[in-house]
Amino acid sequence: GRTAESIRTILGAAGMKLRKRVTLEILE
């Protein structure tokens, strides 16, 4: 239900932040 959606959204946002951080580290 809503709980699953909210968790999925939070994990998705955290994943994007981690991806950006990892990408920046690799580029540097």
- The radius of gyration of the chain's CA atoms, rounded to the nearest angstrom, is 12
Q: What is the dihedral of CA 7, 8, 10, 12, to 10 degrees?
A: 160
The number of domains in the chain is 1
pTM of the model: 0.52
Which residue segment(s) compose the domain that 17 sits in?
A: 1-28
What percent of the chain is modeled with pLDDT above 70?
A: 100
Question: What is the per-residue DSSP string for 1-28?
Answer: -HHHHHHHHHHHHHHHHHHHHHHHHHH-
pLDDT tens-digit series, residues 5-17: 999 999 999 999 9
In this prediction, residue 28 has a pLDDT band, given cuts at 50, 70 and 90, of: confident
